[in-house]
Chains A and B, each alone.
Chain A
Amino acid sequence: MKTYYNPDDLARFADISQYDKALADKFFNWYNEVFAEGALSAREKSLIALAVAHALQCPYCIHAYTEDALAKGYSEEQMMEAVHVAAAIRGGASLVHATQMMNRINQLSIS
């Protein structure tokens, strides 16, 4: 079955350098630096990445960071809570716009 996403493509991520090596090198160097130990630990960054992966609904990122979070010793409960945080922000981001809708209703309606 043909699909837009092929799981094997994740391992080919580095191939994006074929058309523009200079920019790809900058991206991968920056990426590696972002995930290194810093003010936040590499372990904490893994959980953030897992949550963001769900917010972006990126199948490659979910595949990679689920495994990374398991490897870094997070429990299933912790991982699911992180996904709920992502979902809550996404849900909240929609709902908070309801204030715009309400403003417009008030603007248009005879008081």
Chain B
Amino acid sequence: MATLARQQHPLADSASQLRHYDEVTGIIPPFSSTLQKAGYDGLFAGRPEILQINVGKLCNQTCRHCHVDAGPDRREVMSRETMEQCLQFLDRSGMKTVDITGGAPELNPHYRWLVSECRQRGCRVMTRCNLTIITAHERFNDLPRFFAQHQVEVISSLPFYEASRTDRQRGTGVFDASIEALLLLNAEGYGKPDSGLQLHLVYNPVGAFLSAPQQMLEQQFKKELSNRYGIVFNNLYVINNLPISRFLHFLLQSGQYEEYMKKLVMAFNPATVPALMCRYTLSVSWEGFLYDCDFNQMLDLKITDQAGNARHISTVPAEALQERRIMVSQHCYGCTAGSGSSCGGQLVP
């Protein structure tokens, strides 16, 4: 499957996605007014704790729900120079947690260098590994060893413990390759009690529905993966699908866009607002621009200074990012639905 960008599909353009949000406003209230009714006059950032670095859109998979529109035909990858600017920002901001994402971040030629530089600075490093990259080519087979040597936390998507539903979302053969990779990670100690090597799985519903509580699904995943394959992991992160890029495309194509948006609004939970990840995360694009989250990055909603100029990792003063107003739109309902949703799973019990 080609990416939307490769197809030159209108939805490859973020402005076109935002226009779909305008179309639905009227049927559902603007997110900002729902926030206001809940007692929040906008969303404001706290002290940034996590630097989420998106090192590029190149990926060996083309998942149906991908908000990045990542795939093998994408060529946008972060340069070594921009990575150096990210490291300089870590030094001057004192931030100590890094979350590396993509695409498949391991396909960036400077990925391992970035990981080791972050670790040398004493940062906690999380990496979002799609699992199949580990077995995709022999040059990636040693990734579990590399992760372990650098004490990297591995966060990997596995939408179901059976092949049919997983492959429907992530592509034919992905489930079997993912199981093989999980076994390799387990063999390295990942997910095992007392190993200190954290392996977390990410669950996205395979379709236009919200997820059950995280704890319920985690129990089920642990039981099924252990019984069927002897696989262990630490936590399951349950994440809602946001109406962005390819998931928006699916919603529109299947005639479920309005219904899904209404579902998100009906499930709005004000208790999630204080814990929203955008309040504590900074997202950096492959070009070095700053965003409130990876979703805003894909919608090209940049953090700007007071004059409206886009903030860049190379020049932004760390203190300028605190208490900034976060840019919100209709996609934000995805993070406030039910128990909430973030890159670290649900937000409230």
Question: What is A's interface to B at a CB cutoff of 8 Å?
Answer: 11, 41-43, 67-68, 70-73, 75-76
B188-209 CB contacts (< 8 Å) to partner A: 205, 207, 209
* Inter-chain contact B209/A71, CB cutoff 8 Å: yes
B164 within 8 A of A: yes
Q: Which residues of B contact A75 (CB under 8 A)?
A: 160, 162, 164-165
Do A73 and B217 form a contact, CB below 8 Å, given A43-B212, A67-B209?
yes
Across the interface, A73 reaches (CB within 8 A) one of B164, B207, B210, B216, namely B216
* Inter-chain contact A71/B164, CB cutoff 8 Å: no
Across the interface, A43 reaches (CB within 8 A) one of B165, B209, B220, B266, namely B220
* Inter-chain contact A72/B209, CB cutoff 8 Å: no
Question: What is B's interface to A at a CB cutoff of 8 Å?
Answer: 160, 162, 164-165, 205, 207, 209-212, 216-217, 220-221, 262, 266
Most chain-A CB neighbours within 10 Å: which of B211, B212, B217?
Answer: B212
A-B complex: 3 closest residue pairs judged by Cβ atoms: A72-B212, A71-B212, A73-B220
Roughly how many angstroms separate A62 CA and B283 CA in the complex, as a whole number?
41
Q: Which residues of B contact A76 (CB under 8 A)?
A: 164-165
Roughly how many angstroms separate A43 CA and B212 CA in the complex, as a whole number?
9
* Inter-chain contact B209/A42, CB cutoff 8 Å: no
* Inter-chain contact A70/B216, CB cutoff 8 Å: no
- Smallest CB-CB separation from A74: which chain B residue? B220
* Inter-chain contact A73/B221, CB cutoff 8 Å: yes
Across the interface, B205 reaches (CB within 8 A) one of A11, A41, A71, namely A71
Nearest CB of B to A65, in Å: 12
* Inter-chain contact A42/B164, CB cutoff 8 Å: no
- Smallest CB-CB separation from B266: which chain A residue? A11
Q: Which residues of B contact A41 (CB under 8 A)?
A: 216
Nearest CB of B to A50, in Å: 14
Nearest CB of B to A46, in Å: 8
A-B contacts, 19 of them at CB < 8 A, read A11-B262, A42-B216, A43-B216, A68-B212, A70-B205, A70-B207, A70-B209, A71-B209, A71-B210, A71-B211, A72-B216, A73-B160, A73-B212, A73-B216, A73-B220, A75-B160, A75-B162, A75-B164, A76-B164
Roughly how many angstroms separate A68 CA and B207 CA in the complex, as a whole number?
12
Name 4 extra pairs, CB < 8 A, besides A42-B216, A43-B220, A73-B220: A70-B205, A71-B212, A73-B160, A73-B212
